[in-house]
Structure 1
Amino acid sequence: MTKTAWIFPGQGSQKLGMAEDLADLPQAQSYFEKAEKILGWSVLDLCQQDETQLNQTLYTQPCLYVIESILADLLTQQGQTPQMVAGHSLGEYVALYAARVFDFATGLELVQRRATLMDATAGGKMVALIGFKREELQQELDKNSDVVLANDNSDAQVVISGTPSAVDELLTHIKAKRALPLNVSGAFHSPLMASAAAEFQTALDGVSFSEATVPVLSNVNPTPSTSSEELKSRLVQQMTGSVRWREIMAQMAREGVEQVIEIGPGQVLTGLFKRGYSQISRVNVSRFADLKSVVE
């Protein structure tokens, strides 16, 4: 059997129409109905009609969670099972659901609370950097605690996060092939999210986690774990901690993963694997029609 990891993308991968071929699927109807009761609005309608609203954190995160969870369960119904899972930022919640750490509704309620808190946090800035010198970047980060490495995606791609003045100051001291400001309301995955993280802790405290059915590699600690307590602790740290995706990929390679299946819209994560670990085969399941491409 091919050793396979399921990976789940986060905010930024969403696109209008991403639920299109799930809309009339009988297996998906109960998910959309449960989601509408919890959220108070229709994921299907939003994904098909309003791109501006879909791109707002408050709506993006629940929509991605619902779509990716449906696709993961459809794979499971086909008899597919991963040997480990991981998700990028918001995607970690889907990874935990796929590992049966919590049920669909519980995960969506956590994601809704997370999205609400993050959407309400203002005053920060995030910029993606492509093509830079890592040592030079680290030296500048060490000089200013108001800007941090938020997403360490690969050797050549990262995201910095912090106060607008600190981010802008850092950018004047490093050379990058591209520096792309992200359209977000706050400095996600940085200490500036501490107050939101503290409020989110209350929501997590009221939820019981189960032992994971397969190992989960967390954003803040890219080592496999099935411990319910450990996985909950890591999730608490995620809002203020860095997404260590570069290390997650390296760990999967060390664990002997032969194939990754990116479950959700886009090909961001498989693209990172292609550039850094081309020996690991890659499959994308962005919609129902892609399920037939998944083979043992």
Structure 2
Amino acid sequence: MSIAWIFPGQGSQKLGMAEDILTFSGSKVRFQEASNLLGKDLLEICSKNNLGTDNVDTPLNNTENTQLALFVLETLLIDILRLQGSQPHMVAGHSLGEFSALYAAGVFNITTGLNLVKYRSQLMASANGGGMIAIIGFDEMQLKELLAKRQDIVIANDNSPSQVVLSGEKYAIQDISKVIICKRAIPLMVSGAFHSPFMHEAATNFSQILDTTIFHDAQIPVLSNVDPIPSCDGSLLKQRLQRQMTTGVRWRETMQAFDYHGIHLTIELGPGGVLGNLCKRNLRSVTSVQIADSSDLGL
């Protein structure tokens, strides 16, 4: 059976997501390493008791905290599966999840990954201005017509034929939400217009960091967000990652690539289950399961 490991990104986090993984040897050390980089107690940030002042907002939803917390959790799940003798035939991640996919493929080690995610999250958090909105059950022709008339909004995540995320100026997000025909339009709680040309400055700064980072050739094929064609070429995977901040996530095509390359099972490593649910709804020939914590691994 051909297996793909898939990794969710920002938005899949939830309080308490790290608690069950702490029984795994090395988990506290990794969280401590990430906490030292962040300058905050990441385990405390992930705690179920760490609600915001209004009992809705939480420090875990801060971009700087979210991305490191998810990367630590996902890489720990990778390490557990490796110790159990599991190995995928292909990997892919959604936005932040691409970093976990690259780690799983052996492109860089955990220390490099933590540092990259730290810088990425800080740059994205500082890119204030703009917003994002999820559009579900939309009229495709109408959406194309609306976007063709505007330069201030783009498709940031092409998740499936029935779900996209738009990114752009806040007024543009508000305008389009009033006229678009869809089942649901959900504004996202983010600090900027991620995966769009509006992230140019942050992407330029991050590209400079990537230029000094060694990317090894992957041990297993990686599907990148900006170009979901399998590759093991480390230099090509770096080039694709350099474009990720300003280019939309092509998840719909990623799922099509699973089908084309004969993937029979996708295993989502991380909380939320969003990617697995997308695969279940759009890939009839592919089985999808989720591993969110150590209990799913029988530990």
TM-score between the two structures when normalised by the length of structure 1: 0.96
| 1:139-184 Cα shifts (integer Å, max 9, x gaps) | 2111111100001111111100000122222233321111000001
Amino acid at match of 1:137: L
Q: Which residue of 2 aligns with 1:267?
A: 273
Q: Which residue of 2 aligns with 1:117?
A: 123
1:152/1:246 contact within 8 Å kept: yes
Q: Which residue of 1 aligns with 2:50?
A: 50
User: Could you list the runs of 5+ residues in structure 1 that have no partner in the other structure?
Assistant: none
Shift of 1:32: 2.0
Q: Give me the whole-angstrom Cα distance separating, in 2, the residues matched to 1:41 and 1:172.
A: 40
Q: Which residue of 1 aligns with 2:240?
A: 234
Shift of 1:115: 0.5
Q: Give me the whole-angstrom Cα distance separating, in 1, the residues matched to 2:38 and 2:175.
A: 39
Match 1:152 to one of 153, 158, 164: 158
Q: Give me the whole-angstrom Cα distance separating, in 2, the residues matched to 1:29 and 1:165.
A: 43
Amino acid at match of 2:36: K
Q: Which residue of 2 aligns with 1:3?
A: 2
Aligned CA RMSD, in angstroms, stands at: 1.3
Q: Which residue of 2 aligns with 1:27?
A: 26
Task: Count matched residues.
Answer: 292
User: Could you list the runs of 5+ residues in structure 2 that have no partner in the other structure?
Assistant: 52-57
1:23/1:44 contact within 8 Å kept: no
Three-state SS of the structure 1 residue aligned to 2:137 is strand
Match 1:193 to one of 192, 199, 204: 199
Amino acid at match of 1:47: C
Q: Which residue of 2 aligns with 1:62?
A: 68
Write the mapping of 1:81-230 to structure 2, written as runs, cut at 5 A. 81-230=87-236
Three-state SS of the structure 2 residue aligned to 1:282 is strand
Shift of 1:240: 0.5
Q: Give me the whole-angstrom Cα distance separating, in 2, the residues matched to 1:264 and 1:35.
A: 17
1:140/1:173 contact within 8 Å kept: no
Three-state SS of the structure 2 residue aligned to 1:85 is strand
Three-state SS of the structure 2 residue aligned to 1:81 is coil
Shift of 1:33: 2.9
Three-state SS of the structure 1 residue aligned to 2:227 is coil
1:8/1:262 contact within 8 Å kept: yes
Q: Give me the whole-angstrom Cα distance separating, in 1, the residues matched to 2:26 and 2:65.
A: 23
Q: Percent of counterpart pairs with the same letter?
A: 49
Q: Which residue of 2 aligns with 1:276?
A: 282
The runs of at least 4 aligned residues of structure 1 exceeding 3 Å deviation read: none
2:268/2:291 contact within 8 Å kept: yes
Three-state SS of the structure 2 residue aligned to 1:231 is helix
